[in-house]
Amino acid sequence: MEMKVFLWSLAAVLTLSSAVSSPVETPRERHIIHPLRQLSGSGGSPPSGVTCASWRFGVETNSVRGWTTVPRRCERYVGHYMLGDRYRQDSAAVTAEAAAYAEGLRLNGNGKDVWIFDIDETSLSNLPYYAHHGFGAEEYNSTTFNEWVNTGKAPALPESLKLYKKVLSLGVKVVFLTGRGEESREITSANLRRAGFEQWEKLLLRGEGDKRTALAYKSSERKKLRREGYRIVGNIGDQWSDILGKAQGGRTFKLPDPMYYLN
């Protein structure tokens, strides 16, 4: 299946502050930039006396922790980053390194070598949703987010899809490990396949009533995989809680995501 990609329109990026961009679609590139609402809160001094770029650096290095929303004054900055070339370039830098690592793996040959992929903002992108909700500058609303999830229309992050295909071609099986609830299994499976992720060894979702932190939950699920005889050769996610904790895997890879923080 031909890899589907986003269209990152320069015109959309340049008009974030004053205009609404129109959806663009071509036969070969079916992922679009969705119409954006007027962005707010761009004035004033950066948070804590630092630039928004420095704030994002702190987020990505796990130095800035425990925040609930993007600082309102950085909404415009995060929007430009996510819709511009830099986000894609940063993602490509991570997945290229991951692919190079995967090519050098020596597999057990028993079919038990697995690579863990997170789903949201790793395999599937919710950017069409966050573009309408302040790029993380608004309080998280589980109702509206779940409504978006249930459309099953989240596109693939192209760089992750490329890595996914590389991993499979090398004989490594894929395990999707997500914080989505078990009630979303059917729509999540359909969305993954629609986006190009057509096969996997396991799709692990949170059980009903599971209130553990993301770090505790994902560590526990990885330990279960090990007990079942799987060898985790790689692990990629957009949150530090995706890749820290127990049974991390042979090597971990962190994708950029300045829109939200999960501990």
Q: What is the pLDDT of residues 210-259, one digit of tens each?
A: 999 999 999 999 999 999 999 999 999 999 999 999 999 999 999 999 99
Q: Give the burial class of 65: count Cβ atoms within 10 A of its Cβ; 0-12 exposed, 13-18 middle, 19 or more buried.
A: exposed
CATH number of residue 237's parent domain: 3.40.50.1000
Residue 260 belongs to some domain of the structure = no
Averaged pLDDT, 184-201: 98
Residue 32 belongs to some domain of the structure = yes
pLDDT at residue 20, as a whole number: 26
What's the rounded Cα separation, in Å, for the pair 213 and 216? Answer: 5
pLDDT over threshold 70, residue 45: no
pLDDT over threshold 90, residue 207: yes
Poorest-pLDDT segment among 13-17, 203-207, 224-228: 13-17
Tokens of 179: 């914080």
- The rounded mean pLDDT for the chain is 86
Instruction: List all residues 6 or more positions away from 226 whose beta carbon is below 8 Å from its beta carbon.
Output: 232, 247
Residue 98 belongs to some domain of the structure = yes
What's the rounded Cα separation, in Å, for the pair 234 and 225? Answer: 13
Residue 88 belongs to some domain of the structure = yes
Give the global pTM: 0.84
pLDDT at residue 122, as a whole number: 98
pLDDT at residue 49, as a whole number: 74
Each residue's pLDDT tens digit, 130-156:
999 999 999 999 999 999 999 999 999
Residue 96 belongs to some domain of the structure = yes
- The residue range of the domain holding 216 is 10-254
What is the pLDDT confidence band of residue 47, given thresholds at 50, 70 and 90?
low
Q: How many domains does the chain have?
A: 1
Residue 129 belongs to some domain of the structure = yes
Residue 2 belongs to some domain of the structure = no
pLDDT at residue 33, as a whole number: 37
One-letter amino acid of 99: A
